[in-house]
A = this chain, B = another copy of it.
Amino acid sequence: MRLITEVASAAGISEEHLELYGKYKSKLAPTLWDELKHKPDGKLVLVTAVNPTPAGEGKTLTTIGLSQALNAAGVKTVAALREPSLGPCLGMKGGATGGGKAQIVPADEINLHFTGDIHAVTSAHNLLSAMIDNHMFQGNVLGLDPQRIVWKRVMDMNDRSLRSIVTGLGDGNGTVRESGFQITTASEIMAVLCLCDNLADLKLRLGRMLVGYDQLGQPVTAKDLGAVEAMTALLKEAVKPNLVQTLEGTPVIVHGGPFANIAHGCSSVIGTRYALKLGDVVVTEAGFGADLGAEKFMDIKCRQAGLAPSAAVLVVTVKSLKYNGGVRKEELYAGNREALLSGLSNMERHIENLGKFGVPVLVALNHFEGDAPSEIEEVLNACSRLGVPAAVSKVWAEGSAGGLGLAAELKKLLDREDAGGFAPLYEDSLDIPSKINKIVTEIYRGAEVAFSPAAKRSLAIIERLGLQQLQVCMAKTPYSFSDQPRLLGAPEGFTMGVRDITLSLGAGFAVVITGNIVTMPGLPAKPAAEGLSVDEDGVIHGLE
């Protein structure tokens, strides 16, 4: 690892603008922005993927490896990634810092507390929670309806026992009511932190956040509770982007990590802006597959921030295509041409969809040991038939060397005359049901949308409060275009059920909940935490 001061220096950042966290991590001071803001922006490239499968696609890996390869090819490139959440690291998932020769480092510190941003979100969120219950306890001047508090508590831990709880029991402990915890990445504050432009915008957004309704049915916000300034104080460091590096010394901005279902699942706008000033190309990623991640990246993050992505890289693997073609997880290592050809429908659908945003697409075939040459050939041939450039990526095994082909194809794409026609899918002026309908029919290819009674009540509130201009944030299973996780490939004609719609007024979107969305994961029978160890020198093992 190079010292972060050296990485920064190579990226044109002088030490005065660094706020170091140890020797290998740094926050970037607002003074740096003053210096950078007049520079032209680099080109923004989104790494997205087919629908995720149990085999793993390698989006983060590809983002890191591609950035390394671009730098190796002489293109000044910065990666922009999300911060890993502690809960999943200790639960099912392990770390979220790439792998093999395409990793960001120091991986253990990034995976655990990093620079404390997620802890700051937890604190700010739970301060507001405490102030809500305290407000009711101290006389409830605002007339908050304890049955209609929508603001829960958060913890960065996988703890299913906290999903549904009763609080305020015992004498003198406040109002007894049902509530629960979400994982911190599901906090609206995380979405707000990732969408805001600066401290002033952060305050405005925090103030708009809906905490519940009063006994007359009027909305009550964080601003009404007097919590905005204190939350801002808790978040004032977290709003500064973090700089780390890849194993090859490529600068990486790792900042923010909102949930990809009930939030928009992209790293921060502020971090992206810094990256665009520092790199001629910025490679970033979005959560889940392109149906969710890319759509929200384009329709929420890019729209709100006025960003225009120049290209999208769609990560596919032979295994994920076979899985989408109906092969079970256990049999993915065996060749199965028929399933592969069938599963290509999933890739094709995503390619078509990305075209609807006016963004040119490049397919990255993330290579796994055991992929048959004939299978790789089938995927590349399919791309060729679709007129879409593609390249095999071996960044896990080879680092930048394994990504040079991909980097070369991307350079060609970025140099094309027709690059730069980005537009969001829908207009803000459409009403919420029409926005949902447009995403469901044009991206998911469902036939129609069915709103539950609860969703209809929520739509009536949206109508009454005049909130049709909000964007929509779809909370849907990532495994299928539909709301049924087992409907793989490229289904169509289905009915998309909307169970409820909630309001993230600070983030600026209505969350459209389809199916059963879990916002507090549980631990598996053998949590990843049990596999960790710390040696005598304080080095952590078992977390990658």
Contact = CB atoms under 8 A, between A and B. Distances in A.
Contact of A131 (B153, B164, B178, B523): B523
Contact of A112 (B134, B166, B233, B540): B233
B138 A161 contact: no
Contacts of A452: none
A490 B126 CA distance: 41
A196 interface: no
A232 to B, nearest CB: 5
A199 interface: yes
A116 B156 CA distance: 14
A157 interface: yes
Given A160-B172, A160-B173, A131 B236 contact: no
A133 B158 CA distance: 11
B116 A113 contact: yes
A123 B237 CA distance: 20
Nearest to A234: B112
Q: Could you tell me the dominant secondary structure of chain A's interface residues?
A: mixed
A527 B172 CA distance: 17
Contacts of A30: 538
A94 to B, nearest CB: 12
Interface stretch (A19-27, A339-347, A420-428): A19-27
Name, among A27, A109, A137, the residue most crowded by chain B CB atoms within 10 Å (CB to CB): A137
A138 B173 contact: no
B534 A138 contact: no
B165 A236 contact: no
Interface string A509-544: 000000000000011110101101110101010010
A109 B525 CA distance: 39
Interface in A317-343: none
A493 interface: no
A160 B131 contact: no
Interface stretch (A222-230, A262-270, A411-419): A222-230
Contacts of A112: 233-234
Contact of A138 (B27, B90, B139, B525): B525
13 contacts: A20-B20, A20-B22, A90-B127, A116-B119, A126-B155, A138-B524, A160-B172, A161-B173, A162-B167, A163-B173, A199-B534, A226-B529, A233-B534
